[in-house]
């Protein structure tokens, strides 16, 4: 398999870190995103030990600030000659204080911003590099936890709860995946999404007070498969439950709901 250049968001811990270790061992060039410089340096040092030959570059940004997302994308476009894969893995989970409503830098509900708006902006801003590098793959790490979006209260101003916000934001990510896949059909850039594993041993799962069921390696394998498996080279616009091509929440297949979501998304993003 030829060496690929792959960007992983949220690469300093949990699933992202596990994916980085797996891909580094396979010899791929890694672009690692994180919001904490010390953690980025730590994971880079770790990869140097387990895969000394791996090429690793880091990009710092807080995905709760769309200005930082756009600035990171610009730095990547300027510095990187190609981009063969993008794993949108960074996540805002249910939170340690799930009844406390949090906000992004632009004033949007935090989970909707980090889990949907930020990865959507990142894909859009990196499309010139992805298409120039085609065939290229985008993998959006979603969740089996999905809840219908209430378009009268997208930001959950009523009845807020962190896990509910998380589940709605992950469905938004899935719906955007389907829209992007249709738009990019024929460009050589595929866009798929998956639930990687159930209750992995991650900081987010523990912070919410849940008990992990499996290690992160269980989520690494299906995610890396979507990135690298030759048999999935032309697969796009699909939702996977781990290794199985599955059906997401019914709202994800509602064309009118997807249209409303994308119109809202573009309004919230404002001028690029």
User: Over its length of 272 residues, how does the chain's per-residue pLDDT go in tens digits?
Assistant: 589 999 999 999 999 999 999 999 999 999 999 999 999 999 999 999 999 999 999 999 999 999 999 999 999 999 999 999 999 999 998 888 989 999 999 999 999 999 999 999 999 999 999 999 999 999 999 999 999 999 999 999 999 999 999 999 999 999 999 999 999 999 999 999 999 987 666 776 666 666 767 678 889 999 999 999 999 999 999 999 999 999 999 999 999 999 999 999 999 998 75
pLDDT attached to residue 206:
64
Burial 108-129 (b: 16+ CB within 10 A, else e): bbbbbbbbbbbbbbbbbbbbeb
**β-pair partners for 136:** 189
**β-pair partners for 195:** 241
**β-pair partners for 241:** 195, 244
pLDDT attached to residue 42:
97
- Give the 3-state secondary structure of residue 137: strand
- Give the 3-state secondary structure of residue 30: strand
Distance (Å, whole) CA 63 – CA 122: 10
Q: Provide the CA 74 distance to its chain's centre, in angstroms.
A: 18
Q: List alpha helices for the chain, DSSP H.
A: 14-25, 37-50, 66-79, 110-112, 118-132, 162-184, 203-208, 217-228, 255-269
Distance (Å, whole) CA 213 – CA 200: 6
CA distances from 207 to 171, 192, 212 (A): 21, 28, 11
Respond yes or no: is residue 253 known to be catalytic.
no
Catalytic hit among 166, 208, 239, 253: 166
141, 87 contact by CB (below 8 A): yes
Please enumerate in sequence order all residues whose Cβ is within 8 A of that of 87, keeping only pairs 6 or more positions apart, or say none: 6, 7, 8, 9, 16, 19, 139, 141, 223, 227
CA distances from 67 to 59, 70, 133, 180 (A): 14, 5, 25, 21
Q: How many CB atoms lie within 10 A of CB 45?
A: 10
pLDDT attached to residue 205:
67
Please enumerate in sequence order all residues whose Cβ is within 8 A of that of 42, keeping only pairs 6 or more positions apart, or say none: 12
At 7, which helix (H) or strand (E)? strand 5-8
Is it true that the peptide bond before 46 is cis, omega within 30 degrees of 0? Answer: no
Q: Which of the 8 DSSP states describes residue 103? A: B
Please enumerate in sequence order all residues whose Cβ is within 8 A of that of 64, keeping only pairs 6 or more positions apart, or say none: 92, 104, 105, 110, 113, 114, 118
pLDDT attached to residue 37:
97
In terms of C-beta density within 10 A (0-12 exposed, 13-18 middle, 19 or more buried), how is residue 234 classed?
Answer: exposed
pLDDT attached to residue 198:
79
């Amino acid at each position: 398999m030829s060496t690929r250049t792959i960007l992983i968001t949220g690469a300093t811990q949990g699933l992202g870190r596990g994916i980085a270790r797996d891909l580094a061992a396979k010899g791929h060039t890694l672009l690692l995103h994180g919001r904490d410089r010390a953690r980025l340096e730590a994971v880079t040092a770790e990869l140097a030990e387990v895969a000394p030959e791996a090429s690793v570059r880091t990009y710092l940004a807080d995905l709760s600030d769309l200005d930082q997302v756009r600035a990171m994308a610009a730095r990547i476009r300027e510095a990187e000659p190609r981009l063969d894969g993008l794993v949108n893995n960074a996540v805002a989970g249910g939170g340690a204080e799930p009844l406390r409503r949090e906000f992004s830098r632009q004033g949007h509900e935090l989970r909707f911003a980090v889990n949907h708006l930020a990865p959507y902006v990142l894909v859009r801003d990196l499309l010139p590099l992805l298409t120039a590098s085609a065939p290229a793959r985008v993998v959006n790490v979603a969740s089996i936890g999905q809840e219908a979006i209430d378009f009268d209260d997208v930001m959950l101003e009523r009845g807020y709860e962190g896990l509910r916000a998380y589940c709605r934001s992950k469905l938004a990510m899935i719906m955007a995946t389907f829209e992007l896949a249709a738009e990019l059909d024929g460009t050589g850039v595929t866009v798929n999404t998956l639930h990687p594993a159930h209750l992995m041993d991650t900081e987010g799962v523990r912070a919410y007070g849940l008990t992990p069921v499996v290690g992160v390696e269980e989520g690494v394998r299906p995610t890396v498969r979507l990135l690298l498996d030759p048999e999935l080279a032309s697969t796009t616009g699909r939702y996977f439950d781990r290794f199985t091509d599955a059906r997401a929440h019914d709202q994800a297949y509602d064309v009118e709901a997807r249209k409303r979501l994308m119109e809202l998304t573009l309004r919230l993003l404002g001028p690029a």
